[in-house]
Structure 1
Amino acid sequence: MTTRRPRLVGLLVAVAVFVAACGGGGGDGEVSFLVFGEPEEAAAYRELVDAFEATNDDVEVDLVVAASRSDLLTRISTAIAAGSPPELFLVNYRFFGQFASKGALQPLGPFADVSPTFDLDGLYEVARDAFVWDGEQMCIPQNVSSLAVYYNADAFAAAGLDVPAADWTWAEMVEVAAAMTLDDDGDGTVEQYGLGVEPGIVRLAPFVWSEGGELFDDDAQPTGYTLDNAPAVRALQKFIDLRGGRGVIPTDEEMESERLESRFLNGRLAMFMSSRRSVPQFRSIDDFAWDVAPIPSNGQPANVLHSDAFCLTTASSNHDAAWEFVEYALGEVGAEILARTGRTVPSRITVAESSAFLDPDLPPSRSQVFLDAIPSIRPLPSLSTWPEIEDLSDVLIEEAVFDVVGGEATELISSLRTETRDAFDRGQP
């Protein structure tokens, strides 16, 4: 079995060349803005920047696109350590704590409080609160996504299956995935898998909660995993069995050789679990119809927060100009631009409930799925050491899922608690 190495993104020291690329924003009216994403996502942010600059002659935004999330976090860490950080960067709530705990972020709450046009109360609370650190609104979220199931509607029709219902169950999803896992020529090689899901704590969490289990001893200030409750054990075993028990997801080697997004794009994956960020890529699909469904339930509605926010660095040189861009990006006009690109489930409530996001003529037609999930969304921790905890957890979950003789949930739980104990002990909430 091929096992991925931990990324340990919060601990990497590299990429000194990035300091020159960002340069701390430089002079008056210049703002460096660091993001990561696929080319389609980068195009969405470029559209936002261009629209802002067209109406703001006094501020120039230098958009810098990292190749991956780990690259993004490494670049931020390196630039902050070198004293030349970007003015702004976009980061998931699970990873901002490592910077907030070091005093590297300038709270954006005070800027919002005195803004004549921006109102924090207009944002979804679950996303807004995920970026509070030590009682302060440190960063401001642009989106409030959740986990969903993208599905190939043409493949469902060809198999004579109904598309996923709003209230479908885990067992129903697995049966559908089994029916859609096809070895057409009988040579032992699967041409189409029924389901694609990255084995990791972010994908696992909502199914533990849905089963009635808990992940941590304390959601706000966790000191470790508490997965040895019966509901959590059941959920973990169901997740592990997707590969060893039912064979409905690709093998480790197959996932290493071809990304799940690529498999869905080329029609060789019937369903794919992801957040809203996959939409810009999938809108390039011409060969088949696709849509999105809610994740299935293990008993009660539950989902996991996927939210990215604009963060302002303390050492940057142009806070006022940076806020001017954030104010635009998260206002009605900027939020609508990003919503129409498909990239975000807008954190601004009025935009999320508007045609800019819910336009049925732009896939997915079932975008309401993301809004319906918001009441059941829960965040994962934003401890200062969470990137390390997540990396360690993901490796262990992968090993359990891809164990050719079938992983055991109880063994995985023991390993998770043991291997992450030190990182939890060092974490600051």
Structure 2
Amino acid sequence: MRKLTAMLAALVLLAGCGGAETTDTPATVRLLVFGAPEELQAYRTLVDAYAKAANGARVELVEASDRADLITRLSTSIAGGSPPDVFLMNYRFYGQFAAKNAVEPLDDRLAKSTVVKLADLYPQVTEAFQWQGRQLCLPQNVSSLAVYYNRTMFAKHGIAEPKAGWTWNDLITTATALTRNASGAIVRGTEAEGGSAKVAVYGLGVEPTLIRVAPLVWSAGGQIVDDEREPTRFTFDAAPARDALRDFVALRLAYGVVPTDEEVEAEDDETRFSNGRLAMLLSSRRVTTTFRTIKDFEWDVAPMPMYGKQQAGILHSDAYCMTSGSKAKDAAWRFMEYAIGPEGQRIIAATGRTVPSNMAVSRSPAFLDPAQPPRNAQVFLDAVPTIRRVPTISTWPEIEDVAEGILENALYRGDRLDDVIRQLDEQTRPIFARGVAP
């Protein structure tokens, strides 16, 4: 009798520890994501499909308003002891959580999984989410930077569509030819200083960020930091990084092919493109879900132009990460397996949101669907061998934030190049010094 009582007491204790999962009360998995409305709908589709496939398994989608909101929510919930079970995050931002041991290593679960094998995924993305020799997250996509362009507008003005092998000079020439006033006449260079009063359609949209400048530097054979694994500073003071930065910030004041800062504040580039007031846009795969709602014109994607002598892309990859403080780790893992397994990858790829990290799915009709734009989706797969990534040190998000403010002033205000490079160095060196490397 005493043995039976002890066994029952032990079972009660186990049931009460850490929200343990039982077959009678399956745990609800809380998944933290952010995105545009069309992106969030893609994740709702995935969650609904998982519930059907897993006999009613429950996943609660926690929707942040933007990336900053997601990081704030995640940080606050971890500090408060009630984190989500799974969160979706870009490799550039997860290091701050990995350095604090807030992300659960997945190696043991992966070794036992019959659904997900790292060998089935692109190595560029699995490596991006490895921290101190451990696999921390499961990457869902292997996107890269591409040029979205308005095919209807190109045809209207008799301009050849961009092809593989085109150059930075080709991009500038094309963007100049597509920067037009309300009468349809080309607006050149400093003539565009009048802003929206003179320019009705801009030739190009691009964010003044490190992840837009980096591919140009790499294409020219340069580096943006002194050590890609354990960086201590930027290297824009050395050619060819300096030249690439110079030509990037010339897009606004020298060529007048991108909108002013006031115009971007009033209407962001994605909206401007959707409304037919932007001919080309540099962006990753994530905008595809939004652009598939466009009805007024045809659009497609082209590869990034070569700034130097080699093709260079930059990794855009998000992954599902399990928090170490999750109280439903087994249930969270089952969802992650489904999401990264072939069926989950096919579902999310069909929404347009991702370039699947699963190599076989990325080469299947689920992604390369000729009936859905972009027709030239192969561009993203062709870019995979050229993809490089920025460092994943714990303070990289802070470094990007500081750099963005400096690059904004350079692009829109025309700050002197020497001052820009000096500011990038002086304002980020202390942040580099605080960083923890993977």
One-letter code of the match for 2:158? G
Identify the residue that residue 283 of structure 1 maps to in structure 2.
292
Q: CA-atom RMSD, angstroms?
A: 1.5
2:386 to 373, 376, 379: 376
Residues in 1 aligned to 2:359 and 2:301: alpha-carbon distance in whole angstroms: 21
Deviations 1:250-301 (A, max 9, x none): 0011001111100000000000110000000000000000000011101211
Once residues 218 and 303 of structure 1 are traced to their aligned partners in structure 2, the CA distance between those partners, rounded to angstroms, is 19
Equivalent in the alignment of 1:3: none
Partner residue of 1:359? 369
Match of 2:237 in 1: 228
In the superposition, the TM-score normalised over structure 2's length comes to: 0.90
Selected match of 2:120 from 112, 122, 133:
122
Query: For 1:150-207, what per-residue CA distance to the aligned partner results, in whole angstroms no more than 9, with x for missing partners?
Result: 0000000011001101111000101110110111248842100000001110111101
Question: Percent identical across equivalent pairs?
Answer: 52
2:409 is matched with 399
Count residues in correspondence: 405
How far apart are 1:103 and its partner, in Å?
0.9
Instruction: Report the Cα distance in structure 2 between the residues aligned to 1:298 and 1:105, rounded to whole angstroms.
Output: 38
Gaps of 5+ in 2: 1-18, 186-193
Superposed displacement of residue 93, structure 1: 0.2
Asked if 2 retains the 8 angstrom alpha-carbon contact of 1:335 and 1:348, the reply is yes
Q: Report if aligned partners of 1:123, 1:349 keep a CA contact under 8 Å in 2.
A: yes
State which of 72, 77, 80 in structure 1 corresponds to 2:78. 80
State the match for 1:349 in structure 2.
359
- DSSP 3-state at the match of 2:282: strand
- Code of the residue aligned with 1:42 in structure 2: it is L
Spell out the pairing of 1:322-341 with structure 2 (5 A cutoff). Answer: 322-341=332-351
Match of 2:315 among 287, 305, 310: 305
Aligned pairs for 1:98-109 (under 5 A) are 98-109=96-107
Q: Are 2:418 and 1:410 aligned?
A: yes
Greater C-alpha radius of gyration = 2
Q: Which residues of 2 match residues 14-413 of structure 1 at below 5 A?
A: 28-57=26-55, 59-185=57-183, 188-299=197-308, 300-403=310-413, 406-413=414-421
Q: Is the 8 A contact 1:25 1:86 kept in 2?
A: no
Gaps of 5+ in 1: 1-23
| Aligned residue number for residue 8 of structure 1 | none
1:167 alignment partner AA: G
Contact persistence 1:106–1:313 (CA under 8 A): yes
TM-score by length of 1: 0.92
Give the aligned partner of residue 15 of structure 2. none
Deviation string 1:360-419 (CA, Å, 9 cap, x unpaired) is 11100000000000111001111111110000011101110111xx33333211111110
CA distance in 2, matches of 1:159, 1:296: 21
Q: Matches of 1:97 and 1:201 in 2, distance apart?
A: 17
Paired position in structure 2 for 1:425:
433
Query: CA deviation digits over 1:306-340, x for unaligned, max 9?
Result: 00000000111010100000100111100000111
Q: CA deviation at 1:110?
A: 2.0
Partners of 1:220 and 1:123 in 2: CA distance: 22
Q: Structure 1, residues 15-53: CA drift from partner, whole Å, max 9, x if none?
A: xxxxxxxxx999742100010001100110000000000
* Residue 58 of structure 1: how far off its partner (Å): 5.6
* Structure 2 counterpart of 1:338, one-letter code: I
Give the drift of 1:65.
Answer: 1.1
Q: Deviations over 1:39-93 (max 9, x none)?
A: 1001100000000000112621001111101111111011101110000000000
Distance in 2 between the 1:40 and 1:58 partners?
A: 24
Q: Which amino acid aligns with 1:213?
A: G
Displacement after TM superposition at 1:226 (Å):
1.3
Separation in 2 of the partners of 1:211 and 1:235? Answer: 8
Question: How many Å separate the matches in 2 of 1:85 and 1:117?
Answer: 26
Q: Secondary structure at the match of 2:302?
A: strand
Question: Match for 1:361: what amino acid?
Answer: A
Q: Give CA deviations for 1:216-243 in whole Å, capped at 9, x if unaligned.
A: 1111111111121111111001100000
Task: Give the distance between the partners of 1:424 and 1:284, measured in 2 at CA.
Answer: 41
CA–CA distance in structure 1, aligned partners of residues 20 and 142 of structure 2:
28
Aligned to 2:7: none
> Contact 1:25–1:32 at 8 Å: present in 2 too?
no
User: Aligned equivalents of 2:252 and 2:173: distance in 1?
Assistant: 13
Please tell me whether the aligned partners of residues 240 and 407 of structure 1 are also in contact (alpha carbons under 8 angstroms).
no
